[in-house]
Structure 1
């Protein structure tokens, strides 16, 4: 009798053990590549990595990779070295199609969209107001053809020189030509503010979100004119992942009107091979807890996932994300 009961107990224990193992195995771990600590995407990724397990009752664990950046993350995700990653909309398109010298024809066709337009960065061109009034160079066409002009932007390695090159090419020239003519200088945005105040530069182009501290400083400490983009430039940049958007009036000092410009959006990408269930549940967790995300990160207060169907699809939606959006009635 004792032996029989012992055997029964052993079987019961084994069954319970297998059930525990089964529960443990049910938890799925996914990875997110962000940026090094101290950068915006790292802080967003930290919040995502804490929120997703909580929202899914620990069904999904998240490993945050504290490396990467706007240009490298699409490649890492495409190569399945991370399940998800932050990127800019334009870098996602450049990487997918093998555009620019960075990707040099190496396509990344497995990229899929999860979240679009999480945060907008505006392509802003400002010029010293006194210089514009003195020379009459108040359009991009006049600026690139000016005999004497100093156009400042961030160093190579940033996406800004690439965006600027697309602007220049839409107007019949390019970055290298203007650089050889001595019309381009490159520096950090903080340094540019001082040089604008010192009249050492005439024009500055950058790609930044609202409330960016360096551009705020520049526009507060220098009288500037906002240089408009020709329609042909807007059309050309829209083809390479920079759709036309509007920066509302008074976003920055001296900006009395809405500013139409090529917009670079922060997007959240995955790989086509990540399962539909994982992407569906990650999408659901993030969208349905967006209030918590926005409370933690004020720059994301303009993220409106319900507008997904009204925006141009720059990168194909992952079927798991599309399923969730379709259930909400946001896409067909």
Structure 2
């Protein structure tokens, strides 16, 4: 065999290999999944989901996308920039109008439910020596409300609006991790957090005496009256070191997909998530709350994704 023949044979072999590799790459489905900034609950939930679900789904490439949180996730899902996202139920509802942070934008009629991810509280964190002991004390103080475009800013602003003190605080916009450091360094007086446990609070509580401000009963009633998508729940005493069980406003948070994600991919991702729910919860406690919650999601005005609906119908878990 001549060198020319050998070269041609090698070239042909490489071409076949390249085509085969290309075919494999084309068969792999890419999923861009929006969470939040580091230090936020959604960030870690998506991170552990990508790792665990990837063990069962080698043909699905899950990419964790760092975002501002729920508001940005919903907006980018609507634009088709994300395939999946963790989104507040209130944002799913508002996107159907559209109203609130989605006013003047396209209707979110491409949003599809996958599962209830968790129920998350909204609360204000300070230090024992800050001089802030009640939510009313936040007036005139520097309060970090979360990263721009996040669901945390949305929730915290709603809470302060309902209580009539939003225009009295000095709002600061920063990531959760930065807010934890800023509070520890005395650069702010408090920061707001949606969902728990949040790494920013957990890490700060390891070195400082952290205080989670309590809500009065009439404050909780006022919040629910002003914004019906909040309900009162109790954050367990085991959530943060030194913090007792505390009643606070909760909102439901969902795992949401764009309608364009293939039915088979969603169905297999959901199946894997429930099979690996213990492992997901070991990665972040919030995953322990995952459940179908179909009726409540559809009441927001958006349907379930066909892949999720098929899984729930076959498993008999569609509640």
TM-score (normalizing by structure 2):
0.68
Unaligned runs of 5+ in 2: 1-19
Looking at structure 2, the residues matched to 84 and 185 of structure 1 have their Cα atoms a distance apart, in angstroms, of: 29
Q: Is the 8 A contact 2:50 2:64 kept in 1?
A: no
| SS of residue paired to 1:230 | helix
Structure 1 unmatched runs, 5+:
1-19, 55-60
Distance of aligned partners of 1:160 and 1:213 in 2 relative to their CA distance in 1, 3 Å threshold: closer
1:17 alignment counterpart: none
Moved more, 281-290 or 34-43: 34-43
The 2-side partners of 1:26 and 1:66 are apart by 20
Aligned to 1:303: 289
Does residue 230 (structure 1) correspond to residue 220 (structure 2)? The answer is yes
Aligned residues between the structures: 284
Residues 79-118 of structure 1 aligned to structure 2 (within 5 Å): 79-101=79-101, 104-117=104-117
Select the residue among 54, 60, 63 that pairs with 1:62: 60
Distance in 2 of aligned mates of 1:311 and 1:101: 22
| CA distance in 2 between partners of 1:256 and 1:186 (Å) | 28
Q: Is 1:289 equivalent to 2:276 in the alignment? A: yes
Alpha-carbon separation, structure 2, partners of 1:203 and 1:46: 32
1:173-184 aligned within 5 A: 175=166, 177-178=167-168, 183-184=170-171
Q: Map Cα deviations across residues 118-160 of structure 1 (whole Å, 9 max, x no partner).
A: x454312245556768xxx73x4x446x5x5444433534433
Over the residues paired in the alignment, what is the CA RMSD in angstroms?
Answer: 4.0
Compared CA separation, residues 312 and 246, structure 1 to 2 (3 A): farther
Is residue 321 from structure 1 mapped to residue 308 from structure 2 by the alignment? yes
Specify whether residues 243 and 48 from structure 1 end up closer, same or farther in structure 2 by C-alpha distance, changes over 3 A only: farther
Q: Distance in 2 between matches of 1:77 and 1:225?
A: 33
Change (3 A) 1:130 1:185: same
For the structure 1 residues 105 and 312, does the alpha-carbon distance in structure 2 shift closer, same or farther, using more than 3 Å as the test? Answer: same
Q: Using the alignment, how far apart are the partners of 2:149 and 2:25 within structure 1?
A: 42
User: Quick one: structure 1 residues 291 and 262, their matched pair in 2 at CA, closer, same or farther if it must change by over 3 Å?
Assistant: closer
User: Deviation string for 1:47-77 (max 9, x for gaps)?
Assistant: 25523425xxxxxx22334535233333343
Residue of structure 1 in register with 2:6 after alignment: none
In 1, the alpha carbon distance for the partners of 2:122 and 2:36 equals: 24
Distance in 2 of aligned mates of 1:312 and 1:113: 7
Work out whether residues 119 and 251 of structure 2, in 8 Å CA contact, stay in contact via their aligned partners in 1: yes
Q: CA deviation at 1:301?
A: 5.0
Shift of 1:299: 3.2
**What is the aligned partner in structure 2 of residue 51 from structure 1?**
55
Structure with larger Rg: 1
For the 8 Å contact 2:184–2:204, the answer to whether it is kept is: no
Task: Decide whether aligned partners of structure 1 residues 257 and 126 sit closer, same or farther in structure 2, where only a CA change above 3 A counts.
Answer: same
Query: CA contact under 8 A between 2:122 and 2:248: conserved in structure 1?
Result: no
Q: Distance in 2 between matches of 1:74 and 1:167?
A: 21
